[in-house]
Amino acid sequence: MAIRLGDTAPDFTAPTTQGEINFHEWLGDGWGVLFSHPKDFTPVCTTELGYVAKIKPEFEKRNVKVIGLSVDPVDSHEQWEGDIEETQGTAVNFPMIGDPDRTVSDLYDMIHPNADDTLTVRSVFVIGPDKKVKLTLTYPASTGRNFDEILRVIDSLQLTAYKKVATPANWRDGDDVIIVPALSDEEAKELFPDGWDEQKPYLRVTKQPS
Query: In the complex, which residues of this chain contact ligand BEZ (CB under 6 A)?
Result: 38-39, 42-45, 119, 141-142
Query: Alpha-carbon distance 81 to 68, whole Å?
Result: 12
65 carries an active-site annotation: no
Of 9, 14, 27, 45, catalytic: 45
CA pair distance 210, 14, nearest whole angstrom: 38
Our CB check for ligand BEZ shows the closer of 66 and 72 to be 72
Q: How far is the CB of 187 from ligand BEZ (least distance, A)?
A: 47
Rounded distance, CA 2 to CA 138, Å?
A: 12
> In this complex, which beta carbon is closest to ligand BEZ, that of residue 50 or of residue 95?
50
Cα–Cα dist 127/167, whole Å: 19
Nearer to ligand BEZ, 21 or 150 (CB): 150
CA dihedral defined by 60, 119, 149, 133, rounded to 10 degrees? -70
Write out the E strands in the chain: 13-14, 21-22, 31-36, 64-70, 96-98, 122-127, 133-139, 165-166, 177-179, 197-200, 203-206
Between 137 and 191, CB nearer to ligand BEZ? 137
Residue with Cβ nearer ligand BEZ (92 or 119): 119
Give min distance, CB of 48 to ligand BEZ, in A. Answer: 7
Q: How far is the CB of 108 from ligand BEZ (least distance, A)?
A: 18
Is the Cα torsion angle 148, 152, 157, 163 positive or negative in sign?
positive
- Minimum CB distance to ligand BEZ, residue 122 (Å): 9
Distance of closest approach, residue 42 Cβ to ligand BEZ, in angstroms: 3
Which among 159, 131, 158, 149 is positioned nearest to 55, based on CA atoms?
149
The CA–CA distances, whole Å, from 161 to 127, 175, 183 equal 12, 17, 13
For residue 70, list its beta bridge partners: 98
Q: Which residues are annotated as catalytic? A: 45
